[in-house]
Amino acid sequence: MPIEVYWYDDKHRLLMTDYQGEWTIEDLFSMGKQAAEHLDQVDHPVILFQHVHSMHVPRGLLGNFPQLSQLPHLSHPNAEGYIIIGASGLVARMVQIFTQVYQRFDVVDTIEEAVDLAYARLA
C-alpha cells in the first residue's frame, strides 16, 4: 500500500501515515478510514503525522479537497493536531492551500522536529 498507517510510539499518542512512491486519491480515502480506526482504539489526544517521501501529487488532488476535508480522521475527537513531515515543492504548496481553506497542518522537515512539536502540543 502506498500509504501506511501505524502507531509511531508505544503509548499510541503519535499516529504515522507514511506516504511512499505514487499514491492516489483513493489511497487518501482509505488512509483516512484506517487512521480513524486507529483513533477509535484510544481515549486520549493523538497527533497525526503525515510523512511524505516523494514529490508525487495525484491527478485531481486540488479538485478533491472538499471531499478530502471530510475524511473521518480530520474531525475525530481524539485528533489533537496534524503535522506534515518532509513536504516540498508542489506537495508543500498543496498543503499550504489546504491549510488556508480547510484545516491547519503544521509542516516540518524532519521526524525529530515533528516529535518535538507533537510532545510540546500534548504537554
User: Domains of the chain: which residue ranges?
Assistant: 3-122
According to DSSP, the β-strands at 14-19 and 3-7 are antiparallel
Domain 3-122 annotated CATH 2.30.40.10: no
| Percent of the chain topping pLDDT 90 | 89
State the pTM of this model: 0.93
> Rounded CA gap, 75 and 120, in Å?
21
Q: In which order are the strands placed within the sheet that holds 106-108?
A: 3-7, 14-19, 46-52, 79-85, 106-108
Residue 19's nearest CA partner among 95, 84, 76 is 84
Mean pLDDT for 70-93 is 94
Residue 1 has pLDDT above 90, yes or no: no
Measured between alpha carbons, how far apart are the two ends of the chain, in Å? 33
Q: What is the mean pLDDT of the chain?
A: 95
Give 18-65 pLDDT, tens digit per residue: 998 899 999 999 999 999 999 999 999 999 999 998 888 899 999 999
